[in-house]
Amino acid sequence: MDEGNRREIFTAHNGDATLVLLKPDVVEKNHIGEILAMYERAGLKIIAMRMLQMDEKLAARHYEEHIGRPYYESLVKFMTRSPIVALVLEGEDAIAKVRKLNGATDPSQAEEGTIRKLFAESKTENAVHASDSKQNADREIGIFFG
Ligand code: ADP
Ligand code: MG
C-alpha cells in the first residue's frame, strides 16, 4: 500500500478526526471496553486502533511540548510502564466532544460522568489522552498511524 492510500484510510470523512490514547492504567485495570463503549455511545466512530508499548522516544515525540516540565519524567515513566491503546475517533466536532467526554486533566476537577471522573487515579495517571486542536490531531495521528 502506498503512503497516500495509507494516510487516506485514517483521514476523517465525517467531521473531525482526533487521536485518543487509553493510558497504561486503563489497560492494567481492564477498562478498555467500557471506555470504548462510552465513545461509541457518544456517536463517535473508531476508524483506526492498535495496542502498543510506548518507549521514551515515542513518549518524547508525542509529549514534545511538555519536555522540561516538572511532571515530565513521571509522565514518561507512567506512559512507558505497560501497553496502551491508540485509536482515531471520527465524528462531528470529535476533537471538542472527546475532550469534554474525557474531563479535566486533574480527575478531582473532572465533571461527573466523564471518563477521568469515573476511571482516573491522579493528575498523572488520568486514564486517557485526546488531541486538543486540529493541528495537534493531525500531528498525533501521524505519530501513531503515519
Ligand atoms: P491533557 O492530557 O488534559 O491535555 P496536558 O496536555 O496539560 O493535559 O498534560 C499532558 C499529560 O501530562 C496529562 O494528561 C497528565 O497525564 C500529565 N500532567 C499534566 N500536568 C500535570 C501535573 N501538573 N502533574 C502531573 N501530571 C501532569
Ligand atoms: Mg494535552
State pLDDT tens for residues 63-83. 999 999 999 999 999 999 999
The rounded distance, in Å, linking the Cα atoms of 26 and 85 is 9
Q: Is the distance from the beta carbon of residue 75 to the nearest atom of ligand 1 less than 6 Å?
A: yes
Q: Flag whether pLDDT at 2 surpasses 90.
A: no
Residue pair 84/24 in contact (Cβ under 8 Å)? The answer is yes
In the chain, what are the domains? 3-145 (3.30.70.141)
pTM of the model: 0.95
**Alpha-carbon distances of 25 from 80, 119, 122, rounded to whole Å:** 11, 9, 10
Least confident of 5-9, 47-51, 88-92, 106-110: 5-9
pLDDT band at residue 14, thresholds of 50, 70 and 90? confident
Name the closest ligand to CA 104. 1
Whole-angstrom distance, CA of residue 123 vs CA of residue 6? 35
Ligand nearest to the CA of 66: 1
Reported as a pLDDT band with limits 50, 70 and 90, residue 4 is: low
**Residue nearest atom 1 of ligand 1, based on CA coordinates:** 105
Does any ligand 1 atom lie closer than 6 A to the CB of residue 126?
Answer: yes
Nearest partner of 79 among 57, 105, 101, 95, judged by Cα: 57
Indicate whether residue 133 lines ligand 1 (CB < 6 A). no
